[in-house]
A and B are shown apart, each in its own frame.
Chain A
Amino acid sequence: SQQGEEDPQALSIQEGENATMNCSYKTSINNLQWYRQNSGRGLVHLILIRSNEREKHSGRLRVTLDTSKKSSSLLITASRAADTASYFCATVYDRGSTLGRLYFGRGTQLTVWP
């Protein structure tokens, strides 16, 4: 399978704490993207990091990419109850028959308690 793998599958924290989710993938990528999904709704794009970038920020989100380890992490700082959602990483491969295809992991379910 070309899917990425998120870790952990589920994460439960208190408001104000930081949440860290990890994603591992298998082969050379063009970019890696993170999405959020509120229960049963469409996915919303959060951030895209290209293979030549190591870190990217967007508001309370920080994404890192380590291409040597084929892994990425998403950090949500000072979490809020409204951050409760499933978070998915998606990898875009840059060669071969999978060129340009977007592969999603199974997601991390984040629950933030008030």
Chain B
Amino acid sequence: EAQVTQNPRYLITVTGKKLTVTCSQNMNHEYMSWYRQDPGLGLRQIYYSMNVEVTDKGDVPEGYKVSRKEKRNFPLILESPSPNQTSLYFCATRTGTFYEQYFGPGTRLTVT
């Protein structure tokens, strides 16, 4: 079954404690993205990757890091989380630049 998986699905952590949210896809898609969703602001792109070892900043990259060492995985790293990073995070993939996206189930992060 074609899918995008994210882990963990829920996470409560404290300010400054490094964390990683994993994203994995089994569709052999080139293009992967991370978004955050906040009430009233819609979805905003954090980082995206057009292929292995190719990543670029989205609209809200501050406080986040990513890596794309393998095609199937695109982890999101918060080196020193802060309360303003409390949000719902989505990983998404697509086969090419001008195609539809497939979303993961989301990770609800709370930073206290």
Residue of A3, A30, A43, A107 with highest tally of chain B CB at under 10 A: A43
Tell me the complex Cα distance, A42–B97, Å: 20
Tell me whether B108 and A40 are in contact (CB under 8 A).
yes
The residues of B with any CB-CB pair to A shorter than 8 Å are 4, 31, 33, 35, 40-45, 48, 50, 58, 88, 90, 92, 97-106, 108
A101 lies within 8 A of chain B by Cβ: yes
Tell me whether B98 and A101 are in contact (CB under 8 A).
no
Summarize B's interface: helix, strand, loop or mixed: strand
Residue of B at shortest CB range from A51? B98
Given contacts A43-B103, A44-B103, A101-B48, 8 further A-B pairs with CB under 8 A are A33-B100, A42-B4, A43-B43, A45-B101, A48-B99, A88-B43, A92-B97, A99-B97
Summarize A's interface: helix, strand, loop or mixed: strand
9 residue pairs, one from A and one from B, having the closest CB atoms: A100-B97, A42-B103, A106-B42, A104-B43, A45-B100, A43-B103, A42-B105, A30-B98, A104-B42
**Chain A contact residues (Cβ within 8 angstroms of B): what range?**
20 to 34
